[in-house]
A and B are shown apart, each in its own frame.
Chain A
Amino acid sequence: FATFPGEPKWWKTHLTYRIVNYTLDLPRKVVDSAIEKALRVWEAVTPLTFSRLDEGEADIMILFAVGGHGDFFPFDGPGNTLAHAYPPGRGFKGDAHFDDDEQWTEDKSGINIFLVAAHELGHSLGLSHSRDAEALMFPVYNPSTDLAHFRLSQDDVAGIQSLYGPPTVSPEEPTLPTERPPAGPETPAMCDPELSFDAISTLRGEKLFFKDRHFWRISYQIPEPEFHLISSFWPSLPSGVDAAYEVTSKDTVFIFKGNQFWAIRGNEAQAGYPKDIHTLGFPSTVRKIDAAISDAEKKKTYFFVEDKYWRFDEQKQSMEPGFPRQTADDFPGVDPKVDAVLEAFGFLYFFSGPSQLEFDPNAKQVTRALKSNSWFNC
């Protein structure tokens, strides 16, 4: 089995779905029951439950269309592509589209609606294609599937349970002693009031909060933080990073750990990295960077090292003379021990342990003290 890059999955176990329109090939109630049956296939092996909406935005919007239909993947007439679906997420993510140039049938005389729906909903829940020819998630439609005794393959079950685990045991059934999920640094709780961060950066309008092996990502479209392994996006990056910042003019995020730094552009780690931080102009006495932020307007990047900071000229690509300077001299009120820095709404946010200070760079003063994880709407 395979999941999608970054392993997107639903952050909740109860999902809504809506059948937006219908094919004329079948009575509506046949389509309704095929979709319900397809959802029950996945419900039976996960903690997920589904309820139907008849209007408004559901997590999984199901529609029939021909040719171009508003996304970047037009259908291709009869045969070849039968349907497609998007991995979990907000908006069009999670949706499933069926090519109405196919002959949709309840049996196998045409393209069986239940079988394709069960496959596409596997995508809507986060499974990509399987190489196992017996698996439901194998990409090629298998007209010889035994519909009367349909069962998910072991590969399908292993795949979906790698995302959501097995069904929760209902209270009346005997509960087996379950392993408590590993506590401790493995899975930091995002609303822990003592939560601190290793590094924070923007990335194409999103904000990334790094912690140990993981990072949270938030953006306007996805107010609820998504939690990912760093390695699931950038396998070459280390865990426990020290600093990170985005140079928007280069569409690049630079990530620092120890005396090395990496460059990433979207999902792609850039070739030629890691490089040594001393190539930026730091003296050999500097062993690591604590935090960094880049000012897109001024084209300057600020590196915070212990209680001092350096300024780097992004245009000349060199460290500016007259540095390092004492952080406290130019950012009065800011704790000299800086874990991370973020710029937003014209303010600078200095993170130190579980606290962050909002700093007004024009008034040159701290304006607010907040919890470090205040960005997660806990």
Chain B
Amino acid sequence: YPLDRAAKEEDASMDLAQQYLENYYNLAKDVKQFARRRDSGPVVKKIQEMQKFLGLEVTGKLDSNTLEVMAKPRCGVPDVGQ
């Protein structure tokens, strides 16, 4: 069955988050199979790390604030794990 819209949107934000955390927070690329679930350990940890670094409320969830910041233009140098 075609993915319903919510699922598609969710997927898009997961892709954005995955890319962001890999690029700037050293999320290991091989965590992909877990990363599809937002509550997987490494991903939650990285979301918290990113929220802490950028001064967001540390929820460990891809809440709207967090997704909004992830969509903002920024520098390509990683924030951690150079």
**A residues at B contact (CB < 8 Å):** 4-5, 73, 75, 79-85, 87, 99, 102, 111, 116, 119-120, 123, 128-129, 131, 133, 139-141
Jot down 25 A-B pairs with beta carbons below 8 A, ordered by A: A5-B82, A79-B71, A79-B73, A80-B71, A80-B74, A81-B23, A82-B73, A83-B75, A84-B75, A85-B77, A87-B82, A99-B76, A116-B75, A119-B75, A123-B77, A129-B53, A129-B75, A129-B77, A129-B79, A131-B54, A133-B54, A140-B54, A140-B73, A140-B74, A141-B72
B69 lies within 8 A of chain A by Cβ: yes
Question: What is the minimal beta-carbon distance from B44 to any residue of chain A, in angstroms?
Answer: 20
| Smallest CB gap from A143: residue in B | B73
A133 to B24, CA, bound (A): 17
| Smallest CB gap from B72: residue in A | A140
**A129 contacts which chain B residues (CB < 8 A)?**
53, 75, 77, 79
Question: What is the minimal beta-carbon distance from B57 to any residue of chain A, in angstroms?
Answer: 14
**B residues at A contact (CB < 8 Å):** 23-24, 53-55, 69, 71-77, 79, 82
A133 to B53, CA, bound (A): 10
**B54 contacts which chain A residues (CB < 8 A)?**
131, 133, 139-140
Known: A81-B23, A131-B53. A139 touches B82 (CB 8 A): no
Query: A131 touching B75 by the CB < 8 A rule?
Result: no
A83 to B82, CA, bound (A): 16
Q: Pick from A84, A120, A140: contact of B69, CB below 8 A.
A: A140
A13 to B73, CA, bound (A): 32
A4 to B82, CA, bound (A): 7
Q: Pick from A73, A82, A111, A131: contact of B55, CB below 8 A.
A: A131
